Amino acid sequence: MLAEKAERSADGGGGERRRGHDALHHARERMDAAIVASAEDAMAWAGGLHDALDELADVLHRHREASERPGGSLDEIERMEPRLSARVERSRSEHQPLIDRTETLRDTVAHQMEGGRVEVNRLRGVAGRLESDFRDHIAAGVELTYEAFERDMGGEG
């Protein structure tokens, strides 16, 4: 039953999961705002993007640690719902590439700022693709969590 699944997951870091979820959404919103901000002052725009990427990298590292550590949320999902193991593995496999792309873009922005020439349109495109992939990862995680902890698999409902 739905209530039973919610009770079982309540002891499994629900508060931590909520805080992590909020941090992911805040980082995504900050990235989106940085990407679409006015670039009339290209250096200021790049500074905002760099700060958003720095936050995103930090949040992604914490997200990966919380979800992939032994007994973390992905282990819990696999234990509770083995049928979701392929989706859990897909989620795990997305973490490091997202982190790598975020850190690479952050370093590129820093390098361009140091060189005094910021390629706003190119950076916007790369950042937009990263933000889109990050948004897709969040959405897939929300769906996976729903399937594991909230969905009633055919009982009352």
* DSSP 8-state class, residue 116: T
Residue of 129, 149, 152, 128 lying closest to 33 (CA atoms): 128
pLDDT tens for each residue of 122-152: 999 999 999 999 999 999 999 999 988 876 5
**pLDDT over 60 at 118, yes or no:** yes
pLDDT at res. 152: 55
**pLDDT over 70 at 8, yes or no:** no
Distance CA 53, CA 104 (A): 10
Task: Tell me what the mean pLDDT of segment 44-51 comes to.
Answer: 98
As given in the structure block, the two tokens for residue 42 are 């290209």
Q: Which residue spans within the chain are E strands per DSSP?
A: none
Cα–chain center distance at 13: 18
pLDDT tens for each residue of 85-100: 999 999 999 999 999 9
